[in-house]
Chain A
């Protein structure tokens, strides 16, 4: 378990409605700091600057999907060690297992409950080494 509380979240998501709900959930319910990224191609740059504790990735995005972005992150030392949580509606069990095998910290399936989302993230955070 990391020695500090989960505070800074970077969320890469193309759907602006969901962005808004997640921001409200994490900021108002979870009292966290959120940085939203709409274009996955700019995500790594944002992460370098924002220095999040944890990254949330949407699975299906135009241009580059979540798993591709994740693999790219793994090759860049600055962001390779960031814990990544996938948010996906295409939630087959096998896909989830595949992501965890790739080194993802956790998965959250859509639709998630904004009331419980901060708690879910903290639970994942607490299990990190």
Chain B
């Protein structure tokens, strides 16, 4: 995985650098110069060897006759220049920073070239006048050769060649011009011309070298970038292959005709076919016969519109003859030219999920019907006894039947609350919004819960003027919220207390608050007040009833009506529960 990550990283850098279009502009001038210097130095040994050979022959040829000391002096001078060049060459080769120092090495080579040229120029000036005709021809030939040999030697830097050749040509021209011979004067006139042509050739060659080196560097960079791009593609390819192969979701790649081109391992497992049994075959192999006509229509539409599809549930046959329900995401892949390349289908087995949903629904329905029907008989019978339809019953019996009725009612509340929560959370609860006047809602809730309050010897009272403003909400569900808040307040209030209900108009909201004088809400419980099956003290539910779902339902209902709900400590002890709904405009 780390290789992969590295690959992507370097590839990303490469991609950022490869924006340029012009190849040559990629070459770094410093690198090009270093290459030229390297070229010049690499030819140095050959040049020195040639110089030594020519020098020895010249010395042998010229020493016959006069001025033997002068020949010795010249020979020594040449030897010193050659030796210094040798040292220069070694120094350059040993320099580890020669790339960075290329400017300096070029300068030294220029000085060396001038010195070498000057030694040959010396030979021209000193030996030409003092020799007879054939030696003069030899010397002229030799000098012409040395100059022209400098062209390839110094071609990578024409100024060096110009300096070198000038150092030879200037003294030679001078000697020829002042010799007093008409032929020599004519040659003296020609030599600057030859010089100019040679320098021009060197200049041209120099240009060829420079552009060659620039190209080389530009291509090198391009090659590096190409390599980075290749790695990037390889890395994405590997990543894609990994996603494809290790994905827990079945992935099929289909051609526009619906033939399977590739399947991943998850697809093999899901349908029970080996990849080889599917590749090259029509995807209709994975479609039940009775749905094939429908599939053809859908496929034709997909190919025509090229619109990706998601969340399509299809019953697919497996190799073993069973069938599973899969949820498919289908994506047509279109290239830049707009041609459909292939279609990628990703499928997930949702059979178990659908079954679970069905069972949940069935369970809820069972809870709703099968539990409520017997409870109707139980609570109904007890209620008939308790209201005295059958006449007086013994006091002990009456007490027990009241306990039984109360607990039957509690069981029923629990079932209703569970059904409510389930309906809210599965999104099946629909609200019937209408305009509701707040004061009317509060009064209705007080009347409805009066009996419950009396059981706990608690009174509900509206405090202050109630707002006449309207909210938009579900009347029945808002009453349910009010009932929950009021019954909670009653349960936790000391006997004889009053639970106060207030309304408050705040900009664009209407707040209803229920204030009790109960023990307050323990710090540790505050965050869970609106959670499911939560009661601060579990003994409360046994003593006073309640399912622990009431406030959770309130919160969800109020939020469904775009409101908010909360609580705070009440001054002087107790708790205030409130909810706010947007005021009707």
Residue A69, interface by CB 8 Å: no
- Complex CA gap A17/B382 in Å reads 13
Interface residues of B in 234-255 (CB under 8 A from A): none
- Complex CA gap A28/B379 in Å reads 17
| Binding site secondary structure of chain A | loop
Closest-CB distance, B374 to chain A (whole angstroms) = 8
Residue A110, interface by CB 8 Å: yes
Once the chains bind, are B383 and A18 in contact (CB under 8 Å)?
A: no
Once the chains bind, are A90 and B365 in contact (CB under 8 Å)?
A: yes
Closest-CB distance, A62 to chain B (whole angstroms) = 13
Chain B residues, CB < 8 A from A25: 380, 384, 389
Once the chains bind, are A115 and B383 in contact (CB under 8 Å)?
A: yes
Chain A residues, CB < 8 A from B383: 113-115
Residue A77, interface by CB 8 Å: no
- Complex CA gap A102/B139 in Å reads 131
Residue B368, interface by CB 8 Å: yes
Residue B369, interface by CB 8 Å: yes
Once the chains bind, are B384 and A111 in contact (CB under 8 Å)?
A: no
- Complex CA gap A91/B369 in Å reads 9
Chain A residues, CB < 8 A from B369: 60, 89-90
Chain B residues, CB < 8 A from A94: 430
Complex interface bits, B96-135 against A, C-beta within 8 A gives 1, otherwise 0: 0000000000000000000000000000000000000000
Closest-CB distance, B346 to chain A (whole angstroms) = 36
Residue of B nearest to A27 (CB): B389
Residue A21, interface by CB 8 Å: yes
- Complex CA gap A110/B374 in Å reads 10
Closest-CB distance, A20 to chain B (whole angstroms) = 8
Given the interface pairs A29-B389, A115-B387, the reply to whether A18 lies near B368 with Cβ below 8 Å is no
Q: Given A18, A28, A113, A115, which contacts B377 in the complex, CB threshold below 8 Å?
A: A18
Residue A42, interface by CB 8 Å: no
Chain B residues, CB < 8 A from A60: 369
| Binding site secondary structure of chain B | helix
User: Which of under 10, 10 to 19, 20 to 34, or 35 or more describes the interface residues of B?
Assistant: 20 to 34
Closest-CB distance, B479 to chain A (whole angstroms) = 14
Residue A15, interface by CB 8 Å: yes
Complex interface bits, A70-97 against B, C-beta within 8 A gives 1, otherwise 0: 0000000000000000000111011000
Residue A50, interface by CB 8 Å: no
- Complex CA gap A113/B377 in Å reads 10
Chain A residues, CB < 8 A from B376: 18, 21, 89, 110-112
Interface residues of A in 106-129 (CB under 8 A from B): 110-115
Once the chains bind, are B373 and A29 in contact (CB under 8 Å)?
A: no
- Complex CA gap A112/B380 in Å reads 7
Residue B437, interface by CB 8 Å: no
Given the interface pairs A89-B368, A90-B365, A93-B430, the reply to whether A15 lies near B373 with Cβ below 8 Å is yes
User: Which of under 10, 10 to 19, 20 to 34, or 35 or more describes the interface residues of A?
Assistant: 20 to 34
Closest-CB distance, A60 to chain B (whole angstroms) = 7
Complex interface bits, B381-425 against A, C-beta within 8 A gives 1, otherwise 0: 101100101100000000000000000000010000000000000
Once the chains bind, are A24 and B373 in contact (CB under 8 Å)?
A: no
Once the chains bind, are A15 and B389 in contact (CB under 8 Å)?
A: no
Chain B residues, CB < 8 A from A114: 380, 383-384, 389
Once the chains bind, are A21 and B368 in contact (CB under 8 Å)?
A: no
Closest-CB distance, B322 to chain A (whole angstroms) = 33
Closest-CB distance, A90 to chain B (whole angstroms) = 5
- Complex CA gap A89/B387 in Å reads 23
Given the interface pairs A28-B389, A93-B430, the reply to whether A21 lies near B380 with Cβ below 8 Å is yes
- Complex CA gap A25/B383 in Å reads 10
Residue B372, interface by CB 8 Å: yes
Residue B552, interface by CB 8 Å: no
Chain A residues, CB < 8 A from B381: 17, 21
Residue B275, interface by CB 8 Å: no
Residue B283, interface by CB 8 Å: no
Closest-CB distance, A106 to chain B (whole angstroms) = 16
Given the interface pairs A24-B389, A28-B389, the reply to whether A18 lies near B373 with Cβ below 8 Å is yes
Q: Given B365, B372, B387, B389, which contacts A111 in the complex, CB threshold below 8 Å?
A: B372
Chain B residues, CB < 8 A from A91: 368
Given the interface pairs A29-B389, A89-B373, the reply to whether A111 lies near B380 with Cβ below 8 Å is yes
Complex interface bits, B425-452 against A, C-beta within 8 A gives 1, otherwise 0: 0000010100000000000000000000
Closest-CB distance, B181 to chain A (whole angstroms) = 129
- Complex CA gap A110/B220 in Å reads 87
If A25-B380, A112-B376 are given as contacts, then 9 extra A-B residue pairs at C-beta distance below 8 Å, sorted by A number, are A17-B377, A18-B377, A24-B384, A29-B387, A93-B432, A110-B372, A111-B376, A113-B379, A113-B383
Q: List 14 A-B contacts (CB under 8 A).
A: A17-B381, A21-B376, A21-B377, A21-B380, A21-B384, A25-B384, A28-B384, A28-B390, A89-B368, A111-B380, A112-B380, A113-B379, A114-B383, A114-B384
